[in-house]
Copies of this chain bind each other. A is one copy, B any other.
């Protein structure tokens, strides 16, 4: 091990542990044996479908017909796993292994099989020769397991497919897990991604007393698929600066090059791991004694530099493979066809001396027991990683937080998210250990400041007397990175806790891909019987498209809903509460669900309030409902909505579209009192979808009773109209459905002008009705509405711009005055 020692640096005094004595309870020979066994099992998975123990010479028929998999990263991942096992056995420190490098599946599976966990969880894959054969065969095989760590991999909380999220998952896992070490192997390819680059500083939100520790292990094997990696090619002094600049003291372990004996590398790696665990223990002890009050600790990190595909074939067909990008996937490509390759594979496998590692029945030899942690201390078996520790929350009653809405006089103005903030603060107060709030510097801006009566934002860096709501301890985490916030929340949820992320609506697209991957994880995990249920991933999207008074076009994008509605029906939920009490009821429901992605869109600006708490709860329970008072449908009978036939249905989803629809219905009621208008409000968007496509889908009979099968439907929607068409195209009345929503027209302007630009304002909606209901065009009241529309439209732009006054804002606010139902 090198301590970055050639660099003269002010932090040199922290190196006091350098001359530590290494624990000796597990001889390095056994460490090496475990590593060889894991390497053997990794190679076996890539190549073999029979003859797993090489009981006889390899034959072409033993080889898989198509060779798929990634050898390059495996020996390094195996080395780390082996040495972490040693640390756990010697110290008893609970440790989680987060595997960042892509396609590390063979290594993770190999070690969990050696742990015994794999056979416990998958009884068909026993810890014997037949189990080993099946283990090999299923890898990257039709109907088998993928080549990366995945939900099917015991002990994994990180998918090795889309790279970049391992370290943020690790930091999320460490939160509120005092005593835990989360060891996170970061691949040098993955380290080039933006999300990973942003997560090095995750420790700035870690409290060494109340949280666990994250031990990053940067694995420099030098190459990605076809290119060298950046961090492997910069000068070593620069690499050390990079770690120090990110708040770490790096421990450098380099070895295995030019045929170096692995035993020497084991010695250095064992030293580095020991130093790291000891420093973490010291940081904890110092922090508990008060040191954290003064300064952030400097955490250890390990930089492990070994050849790509180490111990694999060095030269193949005349070119170097080990230590180059050519070792990334399958070093020997033509094993079935080429006898020379077949012989090389056999020699490679035998180089691990399997006869010393497995008995004749294929069971790991007894020597390896010394390196196998007991029970849940096995990294593959810890309930923290496998969904085993989720606790039901103590959810506060809504009654104490609901707005008092008078059903006889609806429409008082309030900020919905501010109301939510009070409830959420109580939620955090009642559940002080396992609820967190994450936001990209927008918790206050999104009106959730009440949480700061209960807790603070946690901050491990320097504090200033002028800081507000910032402290060494706190349950709110804010950094200006949607990626980091999303990733830490995912890590927190994946290890059995609960949380909410709040974001500007437009910018949540930044994490589209992360949400896709998390939804895929949930979907795949639901088919893995030994994984426990997880708390849902809950989003509150505020500062939405319709209220960006001083922001421009770049802040206006409701397309995240399009992403979510394409996710699997078991997972995806979208809620558009029209007011504060509905928001409360939706959020309480969201925190009562498991294994979902709940997306809740709600404005933070003053807006009319419609429903009492009881009404809101019933509305959320139904997910969709007819707002009788807002419409104009004499004789309507709630017990039999299909019996009444309205002339038009005005549907709405979203707080601003609801306001405009209610106002448009009022305009129509005033001008055309004989027009039978029905107002339908949708809070649970998936109610619209065909029930064969989504479990929340309203049965056709109920849908038809509500929307009719032949009346025009004017649907005012918060997002892109495509979402509504996508959800309703199978419905009988879809041909009469006319959707207004965001049509990508935006700029820096007033709320009313935004609606006007996108044809979603109340006048436009009323005119839509007049255009679609036969016989109304040109009739009484129509000209009036058209005149008002033109006046408002003019006021929205030209007047405000040409004159020194400001009629538009005034107009907009007047418009916001709720109509009396």
Which residues of A are in contact with B by a Cβ distance under 8 Å?
7-10, 49-50, 61, 65-66, 68-69, 140-148, 150, 159, 161-164, 189-190, 192-201, 204, 224-230, 233-235, 237-247, 296, 320, 324, 441-445, 457, 459, 461-462, 464, 466-467, 470, 478-484, 506-507, 509-510, 512-513, 516-517, 520, 523-524, 549-555, 557, 559, 562-563, 565-568, 720, 722, 725-726, 729, 734-735, 744, 747-750, 753, 796-798, 800-801, 804-806, 808-809
Contacts and interface: CB of A to CB of B under 8 A. Distances in A.
A26 to B, nearest CB: 35
Given A726-B725, A729-B729, A142 B808 contact: yes
Given A193-B480, A806-B66, A239 B233 contact: no
Nearest to A469: B226
Contacts of A554: 146, 148, 150, 159, 161-162, 517, 520
Contacts of A142: 748-750, 753, 796-797, 800-801, 808-809
Given A143-B800, A520-B554, A557-B516, A246 B237 contact: no
B722 A565 contact: yes
A753 to B, nearest CB: 6
Contacts of A147: 550-552, 748
Given A142-B750, A162-B554, A198 B193 contact: yes
Given A194-B481, A197-B194, A563-B562, A146 B551 contact: yes
A122 to B, nearest CB: 14
Contacts of A162: 506-507, 510, 554-555
A523 B801 contact: no
Nearest to A462: B233
Contacts of A470: 227-228
Most chain B CB neighbours (cut-off 10 Å) among A228, A246, A744, A748: A748
A484 B552 contact: no
A242 B201 CA distance: 11
A220 B142 CA distance: 53
Contact of A552 (B161, B199, B512): B161
Contact of A69 (B161, B240, B550): B550
A290 to B, nearest CB: 19
A509 B516 contact: yes
17 contacts: A141-B800, A142-B797, A143-B749, A146-B551, A146-B748, A148-B551, A162-B506, A192-B481, A197-B198, A197-B200, A201-B230, A241-B241, A242-B246, A509-B512, A516-B559, A566-B722, A729-B729
A566 B194 contact: no
A509 B68 CA distance: 25
B550 A524 contact: no
A324 B466 contact: yes
A61 to B, nearest CB: 8
A509 B509 CA distance: 9
Contacts of A225: 441-442, 444-445
Contact of A234 (B148, B461, B551, B798): B461
A228 B797 contact: no
Contacts of A804: 49-50, 61
Contacts of A68: 549-550
A809 B242 contact: no
Most chain B CB neighbours (cut-off 10 Å) among A230, A478, A801: A230
Contacts of A8: 8-9
A241 B237 contact: no
Nearest to A168: B194
A230 B204 contact: yes
A294 to B, nearest CB: 12
A722 to B, nearest CB: 4
Contacts of A513: 507, 509-510, 512
Nearest to A62: B804
Contacts of A506: 162, 516
A647 to B, nearest CB: 23
B559 A563 contact: yes
Given A50-B804, A161-B551, A744 B189 contact: no
Given A445-B226, A550-B147, A744 B481 contact: no
Contacts of A551: 146-148, 161
Contact of A190 (B50, B150, B480): B480
